[in-house]
Amino acid sequence: AQKITQTQPGMFVQEKEAVTLDCTYDTSDQSYGLFWYKQPSSGEMIFLIYQGSYDEQNATEGRYSLNFQKARKSANLVISASQLGDSAMYFCAMRDESYNTDKLIFGTGTRLQVFP
Amino acid sequence: ETGVTQTPRHLVMGMTNKKSLKCEQHLGHNAMYWYKQSAKKPLELMFVYNFKEQTENNSVPSRFSPECPNSSHLFLHLHTLQPEDSALYLCASSPTGDSGGEIYNEQFFGPGTRLTVL
């Protein structure tokens, strides 16, 4: 069965510093996609970044980058130059791309707090 | 209005009540999803609709009844709920519910309905 593990329930980072949020996954499938979402206190899930299992380069989107290590089954999110507005819950998710229905499996999340 | 909207944002109901959650997407997507987010648990997929047809029911109890009259609207009808059903219910949409990994197919989420069952 597929599983996403986020071992950091909470992280603190000072403004303007970089922070890495850990995510490991378990799947026996060859084709899959990995997502990171941000959930502020308002509740909505905001898409941040996507990495396909066959992508050779690490995904980047502005201040977000995904450190994809396929052999280790890890997909850590790196946020550079943290801002106060980055304080939120962050969820790693995996999509099984070998089935007909697009299902996302989520981890338990990491609460990031950015302090001045 | 743009994106994915959900109403109501907050709902308190008794175990014998019947209520409905509404989700509407203005993105022209063909797939819609219901997720449940309980405290300290991962988001759980409940239902998937693709082109108005239900393609996934993740062993959800029958006291939750989804309805998808068209690709833009999704409802979750609630009846005789239990206190453990209290959670944040999130709706999402994506271009398709069956991308086979061929396209990005990012899911866009609404702000959620915070449900409390007394």
Measured in whole angstroms, the distance separating CA B92 from the mean position of its chain's CA atoms is 7
Query: Does A102 contact B42 at a Cβ distance shorter than 8 Å?
Result: no
pLDDT over 90 percentage in chain B:
70
Query: Does B111 contact A44 at a Cβ distance shorter than 8 Å?
Result: yes
Residue A106 has pLDDT above 90, yes or no: yes
Residue B100 has pLDDT above 70, yes or no: no
Cβ neighbours of residue B61 under 8 Å, at least 6 residues apart? none
Task: State the best of B33, B48, B51, B106 to mutate against chain A, taking most chain A CBs within 10 Å.
Answer: B106
Could you read off the pLDDT of B32-48 as tens digits, one per residue? Answer: 999 999 987 889 999 99
Residue with tokens 């203005």: B26
Residue B113 has pLDDT above 90, yes or no: yes
Task: State the best of A45, A49, A90 to mutate against chain B, taking most chain B CBs within 10 Å.
Answer: A45
A6 close to A35: Cβ distance less than 8 angstroms: no
Residue A75 has pLDDT above 70, yes or no: yes
Query: Does A103 contact B101 at a Cβ distance shorter than 8 Å?
Result: no
Q: Closest by alpha carbon to B31, among B75, B77, B72?
A: B72
Could you read off the pLDDT of A80-93 as tens digits, one per residue? Answer: 999 999 999 999 99
Q: Which residues of chain A make contact with B50, given a CB cutoff of 8 A?
A: 101
Distance CA A78, CA A82 (A): 10
